[in-house]
Amino acid sequence: MPYPIPHTDDEWRALLSKQGAEPVAFEVTRHAATERPFTGKYEAHWADGSYHCICCGNKLFDAATKFNAHCGWPSFSQAVPGAITEITDRSHGMSRVETVCSQCGAHLGHVFDDGPTATGLRYCMNSASLNFTPS
């Protein structure tokens, strides 16, 4: 699927390096890797602000929608409308819903229907795919 912000792998690597992204960010965002649970810098981060795609800066989540799912990854109950594209993921013998940035196609994580808020959703994201902007 083509996205509005296309780059080659080398261009993505350079962009992520320039931003000081975590070493695993390229594999997570461009090749759908998953960071180890409880290791991401935003898993236990609770400041006011917003979370953006590390690759293109697209605003994905408001901090007010973040909650502690005790799963090891930052979890959110609601995405910014239109910011995320959902794709059926049947890898690893499972059927899940992958979430990618609608602007650049960066892999963010997965969304599950077991969230504790009124949305019923749990956007389980990789910290390496996110950048935080304080309020």
Residue 91 counted as domain residue: yes
Residue 1 counted as domain residue: no
Residue 3 counted as domain residue: no
Residue 2 counted as domain residue: no
Q: Which helix (H) or strand (E) element contains residue 97? A: strand 96-101
Q: Sorting pLDDT into bands at 50, 70 and 90, what band is 89? A: confident
- What CATH number does the domain containing 35 carry? 2.170.150.20
pLDDT of residue 48: 98
pLDDT of residue 1: 65
Token representation of residue 127: 């910290």
What is the C-alpha to C-alpha distance for residues 96 and 15, in angstroms, rounded to an integer?
Answer: 29
pLDDT of residue 91: 80
Domain count within the chain: 1
- pLDDT tens string 11-22: 999 999 998 999
- pLDDT tens string 38-66: 999 999 999 999 999 999 999 999 999 99
Enter the pTM of the model: 0.93
Q: Residue 57: count other Cβ atoms within 10 Å of its Cβ.
A: 15
- pLDDT tens string 23-43: 999 999 999 999 999 999 999
- pLDDT tens string 90-129: 887 878 899 999 999 999 999 999 999 999 999 999 999 9
Residue 63 counted as domain residue: yes
Q: Which residues are catalytic?
A: 124
The whole domain housing 73 covers: 9-134
What is the C-alpha to C-alpha distance for residues 6 and 122, in angstroms, rounded to an integer?
Answer: 28
Residue 97 counted as domain residue: yes
pLDDT of residue 95: 82
